[in-house]
Structure 1
Amino acid sequence: MPYSLATFSAFFFLAFSPLVDAQVPLRLERLNRCGDLLDREHSTWCAEVRGLTPDTATLTLDGKPLPAQTVQRDGDSLNIRLNARDHASGPLVVKQGDRSSNAVWLTAQGSHVVAAKPNEVAKNMDGLTTYVDLVSLLIEEDHDGRQEATRLAAKYGATVVGSIAPLNLYQLRLPAKNLVERDALVLRLGSETSVDAVVVEESAPEKNEEADAPRPVADKPDVDSDEWAANRFLDAVNYYRRRIPASQAPLHPQPMRIGLIERDVDFDTADFAGYLGDCSVPRTCVYARDAQKPDGHGTTVAGILAAAWDNGGNTGFLKGLDPASGGFEVIVERNSDAGITANIAASVNLVEDGVRVLNWSWGIHRVGAKNVNGDDVDSLLRSGIAMSGYEELLEEFFLWLRKEHPDVIVINSAGNGASFSGTDEYRLPSSFITDQLLVVGGHQRSDRADLSVDDPAYAVKRNSSNIDMRVDITASACVHASTQAPDQTGAVHCGTSYATPMVTGVVAAMLSINPDLTPEQLRMLLRRSALTLGDNYDFEPMDAEDLTAPILPSERDHRLNDKDVGRSARLDMQKALDLAVQSRLRVR
């Protein structure tokens, strides 16, 4: 019997559909806590997966399959309900046939806040996007936060919808329809004796708040220049690979967990395609939601730490240490799109999940902040009322960190407003003075090709980098972004956002060598090992245009006449690792 073309086509499709399906990428694009965020016995997670077929999908959490009854599917959406007693934090992977998705970190910790929907925001008097009916209360520490937040919610007709319980912060949805009603309720809530501060969120629901400010054309680097040579990137990789397994006095590196407060990573790029599916130390692992933009902020920041080598695009420092390291877990997590409050919620969860190093490639300026030329800063601005709430929130975070997790260090970008990073009235979080916060400025290669890497003029301050005594060290601010196809050169991205993970990577490597190093000791070793840049300013007042706090005689073996004294500090990755090795050997 003759077959029609339609019949033959249908037969062909059915016969070869597994082959077709195998070519469709499986990507976990969204994973967020949903349902009752205050439920401590159960947690519900909503996930969106691209590339699912009608076939049964399997989910694994930390390498173990989840029971089928815990997962409900509706098309590309998954609803996952877990019992808190039965599951710990770990990477979640979706599998279907021979395909595996990217791994996304699912936390068993309870800090989660709600982001506003597009119809729940408005423009305030400063022209900034602000939440209309969502605010967060920092409850005084002598009160039971959950109980007091519930009482205040009932008093003012609000509902408790989220929390960061370790900081005694609870998020309320107010019965407010506009900013006049919200501000009236904020004033009344702020006057309650049990309330330390009210945090008003100012951020668009879907806006990438970590994006750098636009650069002037004069600040654009030479695309072909080797920016990382100024920090001895390859020297550091070579040193670690050779020194750790050395036959004489070999070291046994420890696995290390790093947290990046970023949105997502593009796993369709050559830099990250190798991270699909299950992963565990001693190799480098990346856990992140999937993006569909190869040169996105999160992909570039994560790439500086973990991108594959020799595929074009980015090159990951920690990935380069794989042959000798104990493994690095890079967790990309942002909790929700609820701005700074969500960043802190994610940070608290990550710390409680064992992260030793937090990368904060973000920061905000107060409206009215001035740059070094006296002009207004025009990027990442927040109003006075928002800044006061954020300042209290960050203070509570660092107090909690010092009390409960004194071994954790936060690496923060100095900012790109050509302003002052240490002025607490105008810049957060870089202005905080604490041993557990290390601030990173940005430099770029000078146009002097005849200089050695240890010459102070080998690198120069980036015009856009924030400056002053609060900046601890600088690193290369320019990097090639990831690319979808192998062996391509990515676009050049610049900013302190990309200098920060350079320092994060070397700090994580130092801790893998000597996990007993404290945040104060890490800062000391980074400064002692630092190369220099710029002129000798002879310890001018802090409003001088020093890029970082000047090198002190105590950071140069107490030599008053050392040529480095008074200059700004430039990251030397190889020497920092060497000092970490020496610190480990001394305690043997």
Structure 2
Amino acid sequence: MERRWLLFLLLCGLASGVRAETPLRLERLERCRDLLDTQHQVFCLKASGLSSGPVQVWLGGAAKSSEREGDHLRLTLETGKDASGPVRLEEGGRSSNSVWLSMAGNHVLAAKPNELATNAEGLSTYLNLVSVIIEERYDGLDQARQLAQKYGASVVGGIPALNTWQLRLPVKNLIERDALLLRLGHELSVDAVVIEETEAEEGEREVPADDRSHDEWAANRFADAVNYYRRRVAARGAPVEPSAVRIGVIERNVDFDSADFAEYVGPCALPRTCLYARDAQGPAAHGSTVAAVLLAHWQKGGNTGFLRGLDGVSKGFEVIVDRDSDAGITANVAASVNLVEDGARILNWSWGLHRVGTQTVQGAEADTQVRSGIAMAGYEELLEEFFRWLKAKHPDVVVINSAGNAAAAAGQDEYRLPSSFVTDQLLVVGGHQRGEQPELPVDSPDYAVRRESSNLDRRVDISAAACTHGADPGAEGEGSVHCGTSFATPMVAGTVAAMLSINPHLTPRQLRTLLRRSAMPIGAEDDFEPMDGEDLTAPILPSERNFDLNHPDVGRSARLDMQKALELTVQSRDRRR
């Protein structure tokens, strides 16, 4: 009897130990209940690893009361009293990852599986959820409610900053939906109607890598840039006083169980670099790979996050991974507005769309991230409203966008979004890979070549290494290799973040100028003739080479030089004094 009792205690102890080792992860956080309530905002949270004990919710440094039902929690906050900040859970001595909670009030709903339909192009489309952009001379919410009453719909979400409101329509099929869209679009108060064509788990397609992908970042002087920043910021006699920078990454989630991100679990505060994101259930998530370029812990998973390498001398970087909900491009824009209103200086958009019928440079039809013409028209209007708002309200914010992976033109406004927008606040990034001659010096135009899948033309501002290791460690402790302009984009975003930490007064136009002036050449000289299939970015101009008309870089495409960009930023800071 005594032995049975001892065995029972031992088993209980082992079970308790297993529970104690179970990670606590915050997987979902989004607005719920009445999304139009301007006095209170309710947030629904879902966590994994919770036991039956009491759980504490932290918003920033303040404990908040919550309601709990199983692994779901509900948090009610007061607009004007509670501020945006990271939310974290604590239970039984364990701490979860932190997720950014925005009180900015922009949120749209995602369609449920039974609210999707297949359109004539064979694309999945939202059936009864649409968004209307109201003309700015109208009170948007009031007008949206009048339209809802007129057509038997209901207002269920919105992006108030852009006078955009989401309606749930009383329709049962696409014929009824399209008929109602036509009537809505002809209302005097409606500027445009936005429909979504998206799958819940769709992400930018990743292109298979090759054997040269292990040292791709050498083409951008990654290690030299880290070394320069660490030495120059702390230089004796002439130190640089850096600033903290907040970055918004429009992605779904990050795997905090991977070695790349495990150190970001628990409380975090500047000057340490912090990561706020929902937890992914596996390391293959697109968001994990994008975030790893910025934040992966050095050597633990075979990766080296650029901003992580600046810890100890910088004043820290806050990287917020968020995309509001799974409601496609409208949700991406809603999350972007929230992050900007919460103080983000940089937005990383590793996403983009091609219109049906987009032609590649080889003459084939693009088959990646394709949308119908009616959807693209709505997205174009929504993005136009966003950049107009950004220029008027937040002119210091820069959006860094991937050029895309269809080997097509990035700047054709009828066929590619959002890279085709021409604004100082949008930087477009193409992708390159190592060339066939590894013995060449790094500043040789042939050291790297355009990745065949990368979109191109003169709307692309700069190129960066397209291949990186993911957060899923293989047999040798390194993640599988992922390639695409999605992963070149955070290379540029990280460089811009370091530049702003050195000189926070730089404008988006000045950032582009410094990136272009510091860039290394890539590709053949084009003599400013119409582009062909080998061009990647806008050609380097004489004005970007001290007006030297005979400079060998003039006419070639621009390849990111991270170290030189930081050097020029320090010089810009010194000149400002």
For the aligned pair, the TM-score class normalised by the smaller chain equals over 0.9
- Give the AA of the match of 1:3: E
Q: How does 1:559-578 map to 2 (within 5 A)?
A: 559-578=548-567
SS at match of 1:226: helix
Deviations 1:379-402 (A, max 9, x none): 110000000000000000000000
SS at match of 2:382: helix
Gaps of 5+ in 1: none
2:294 paired with 1:308 = no
2:10 paired with 1:3 = no
Q: How does 1:138-153 map to 2 (within 5 A)?
A: 138-153=133-148
Larger mean Cα displacement after TM superposition, 535-544 or 499-508: 535-544
CA distance in 1, matches of 2:484, 2:369: 14
Q: Which of residues 280, 283, 286 in structure 2 aligns to 1:294?
A: 283
Deviations 1:100-142 (A, max 9, x none): 0000001111000000000000000000000000000000000
1:40 Cα offset (Å)? 1.5
Q: Which of residues 315, 319, 342 in structure 1 aligns to 2:308?
A: 319
CA distance in 2, matches of 1:357, 1:282: 18
Q: How does 1:395-406 map to 2 (within 5 A)?
A: 395-406=384-395
Q: Is residue 214–residue 468 contact of structure 2 (8 Å, CA) maintained in 1?
A: no
Q: Is residue 268–residue 484 contact of structure 1 (8 Å, CA) maintained in 2?
A: no
Deviations 1:461-496 (A, max 9, x none): 000000000000000000011135897011110000
Please name the residue that 2:31 is paired with.
33
CA distance in 1, matches of 2:7, 2:17: 15
CA distance in 2, matches of 1:262, 1:65: 27
SS at match of 1:482: strand
Please name the residue that 1:208 is paired with.
202
Q: Which of residues 39, 50, 53 in structure 1 aligns to 2:51?
A: 53
Structure 2 CA distance for partners of 1:23 and 1:443, relative to 1, 3 Å: same
Please name the residue that 1:169 is paired with.
164
Please name the residue that 1:128 is paired with.
123
Please name the residue that 1:532 is paired with.
521
Q: Is residue 270–residue 485 contact of structure 1 (8 Å, CA) maintained in 2?
A: no
Please name the residue that 1:374 is paired with.
363
- Give the AA of the match of 1:33: R
CA distance in 1, matches of 2:359, 2:10: 67
- Give the AA of the match of 1:100: S
1:13 Cα offset (Å)? 4.2
- Give the AA of the match of 1:27: R
Structure 2 CA distance for partners of 1:335 and 1:195, relative to 1, 3 Å: same
Larger mean Cα displacement after TM superposition, 406-415 or 284-293: 284-293
Deviations 1:333-374 (A, max 9, x none): 000000000000000000000000000000000000000011
CA distance in 1, matches of 2:256, 2:183: 47
1:22 Cα offset (Å)? 2.1
Q: Is residue 478–residue 492 contact of structure 1 (8 Å, CA) maintained in 2?
A: yes
Structure 2 CA distance for partners of 1:78 and 1:478, relative to 1, 3 Å: same
CA distance in 2, matches of 1:363, 1:286: 24
1:543 Cα offset (Å)? 6.0
CA distance in 1, matches of 2:546, 2:327: 46
2:425 paired with 1:454 = no
Q: Which of residues 452, 455, 459 in structure 2 aligns to 1:466?
A: 455
SS at match of 1:581: helix
Query: Identity across aligned pairs (percent)?
Result: 62
Structure 2 CA distance for partners of 1:470 and 1:224, relative to 1, 3 Å: closer
CA distance in 2, matches of 1:111, 1:586: 40
CA distance in 2, matches of 1:487, 1:136: 48
Please name the residue that 2:350 is paired with.
361
CA distance in 1, matches of 2:239, 2:295: 25
Q: Is residue 213–residue 467 contact of structure 2 (8 Å, CA) maintained in 1?
A: no
Q: Is residue 361–residue 496 contact of structure 1 (8 Å, CA) maintained in 2?
A: yes
- Give the AA of the match of 2:182: L
Q: How does 1:398-417 map to 2 (within 5 A)?
A: 398-417=387-406
Q: How does 1:57-456 map to 2 (within 5 A)?
A: 57-66=55-64, 68=65, 71-204=66-199, 206-212=200-206, 214-215=207-208, 220-222=209-211, 225-456=214-445
SS at match of 2:290: helix
CA distance in 2, matches of 1:224, 1:442: 12
1:313 Cα offset (Å)? 3.1
Structure 2 CA distance for partners of 1:486 and 1:86, relative to 1, 3 Å: farther
Structure 2 CA distance for partners of 1:243 and 1:146, relative to 1, 3 Å: same
TM normalised by structure 1 equals: 0.96
1:447 Cα offset (Å)? 1.6
CA distance in 1, matches of 2:194, 2:472: 39
CA distance in 1, matches of 2:191, 2:436: 51
Gaps of 5+ in 2: none
CA distance in 2, matches of 1:141, 1:545: 43
1:245 Cα offset (Å)? 1.1
TM normalised by structure 2 equals: 0.98
Deviations 1:200-227 (A, max 9, x none): 11112x2223333x45xxxx32156410
Please provide the CA RMSD for this pair: 1.4
Structure 2 CA distance for partners of 1:25 and 1:544, relative to 1, 3 Å: closer
- Give the AA of the match of 2:75: I
- Give the AA of the match of 2:202: N
Structure 2 CA distance for partners of 1:190 and 1:9, relative to 1, 3 Å: farther
Deviations 1:421-447 (A, max 9, x none): 000010000000000000000000012
Q: Is residue 335–residue 343 contact of structure 1 (8 Å, CA) maintained in 2?
A: yes
SS at match of 2:176: helix
CA distance in 2, matches of 1:102, 1:514: 31
CA distance in 2, matches of 1:425, 1:224: 33
CA distance in 2, matches of 1:251, 1:86: 36
Structure 2 CA distance for partners of 1:16 and 1:378, relative to 1, 3 Å: closer
CA distance in 2, matches of 1:560, 1:436: 28
- Give the AA of the match of 2:449: V
SS at match of 1:444: strand
Deviations 1:74-94 (A, max 9, x none): 111111111223310000000
SS at match of 2:178: helix
Structure 2 CA distance for partners of 1:156 and 1:224, relative to 1, 3 Å: closer
CA distance in 2, matches of 1:221, 1:484: 17
- Give the AA of the match of 1:125: A
CA distance in 2, matches of 1:3, 1:323: 56
Q: Is residue 468–residue 545 contact of structure 1 (8 Å, CA) maintained in 2?
A: no
SS at match of 2:131: strand
Q: Is residue 450–residue 534 contact of structure 2 (8 Å, CA) maintained in 1?
A: no
Q: Which of residues 490, 496, 508 in structure 2 aligns to 1:501?
A: 490
Q: Is residue 250–residue 335 contact of structure 2 (8 Å, CA) maintained in 1?
A: yes
- Give the AA of the match of 1:20: V
- Give the AA of the match of 1:278: P
- Give the AA of the match of 1:275: Y
CA distance in 1, matches of 2:203, 2:144: 28
Structure 2 CA distance for partners of 1:272 and 1:479, relative to 1, 3 Å: same
Please name the residue that 2:19 is paired with.
21
1:248 Cα offset (Å)? 2.1
Please name the residue that 2:530 is paired with.
541
CA distance in 2, matches of 1:575, 1:156: 58
Deviations 1:251-290 (A, max 9, x none): 1100000000000000000010000011011111000000
